[in-house]
Amino acid sequence: MKENELTAIDFGTSQILAITVEVQENGAIKILAAESKKTTAINKGLIEQKTSAAFAVNELQKLLQNSSGIKNINRVAVSINARSMRCWLLSQSFDISLKSINQHLINELRDECFEETLSFKDKDVYKLFPAAYYIDGGKVENPVGKKGSILDIDYNAIIGKKEIKANLNECFDRTGILIEHCSLGIEALSTVLLEDDERKNGCALINMGAGTTTLAIYNEGALQDMIVVPLGAKAITADICELGINEKNAELLKQKKGVAMEKCITNPVNVQFPSTLNDRETVKISTRFLGRIIEARLEDMLEPIFFRIRQQQQHQELEAGIIITGGGSKLNGITQFIEEKTNMPVRYGNHSDWLADDVDEQFYDPQYAQLIGTIVLANDNRNNPAKQIETHKSKHTTRIFDSLAQGFINFFNEEEKKQTAKKPKKQESKSVKKDRVKKISTVRLDAKINY
Across the chain, mean pLDDT equals: 84
Residue 266 near residue 242 (C-beta atoms within 8 A): no
What pLDDT is stored for residue 409 in this prediction?
31
Given the DSSP bridges, would you call strands 203-208 and 322-325 parallel, antiparallel or unpaired?
parallel
What pLDDT is stored for residue 111 in this prediction?
82
The per-residue pLDDT for range 146-164, each reduced to its tens digit, is: 988 888 888 888 989 989 9
Is the model's pLDDT at 400 over the cut of 60?
A: no
Is the model's pLDDT at 279 over the cut of 90?
A: no
The DSSP call for residue 432 is I
What pLDDT is stored for residue 131 in this prediction?
84
pLDDT-based confidence at 441, cuts 50/70/90? low
The per-residue pLDDT for range 68-79, each reduced to its tens digit, is: 999 999 999 999
Query: Which residues, other chains included, contact 220 with Cβ-Cβ below 8 Å and sequence gap of 6+?
Result: 132, 141, 200, 202, 316
pLDDT above 70 covers a percentage of the chain that reads 84
Residue 20 near residue 4 (C-beta atoms within 8 A): no
The per-residue pLDDT for range 22-37, each reduced to its tens digit, is: 999 999 999 999 999 9
What pLDDT is stored for residue 437 in this prediction?
56
Is the model's pLDDT at 88 over the cut of 70?
A: yes
User: Taking Cα atoms as reference points, which of 379, 446, 400 lies closest to residue 8?
Assistant: 379
Assigned superfamily of 229-346: ATPase, nucleotide binding domain (3.30.420.40)
Is the model's pLDDT at 386 over the cut of 70?
A: no
Residue 80 near residue 140 (C-beta atoms within 8 A): no
Tell me the whole-structure pTM to 2 decimals.
0.82
Is the model's pLDDT at 410 over the cut of 60?
A: no
Least confident of 79-83, 244-248, 390-394: 390-394
Least confident of 160-174, 253-267, 369-383, 402-416: 402-416
DSSP 309-327: HHHHHTTS--TT-EEEESG
What pLDDT is stored for residue 416 in this prediction?
35
With b for 16 or more beta-carbon neighbours within 10 A and e for fewer, the 226-242 pattern comes to: bbbbbbbbbbbbebbbe
What pLDDT is stored for residue 28 in this prediction?
96
Is the model's pLDDT at 290 over the cut of 70?
A: yes
What does the pLDDT average to over 250-258?
95
What does the pLDDT average to over 186-207?
96
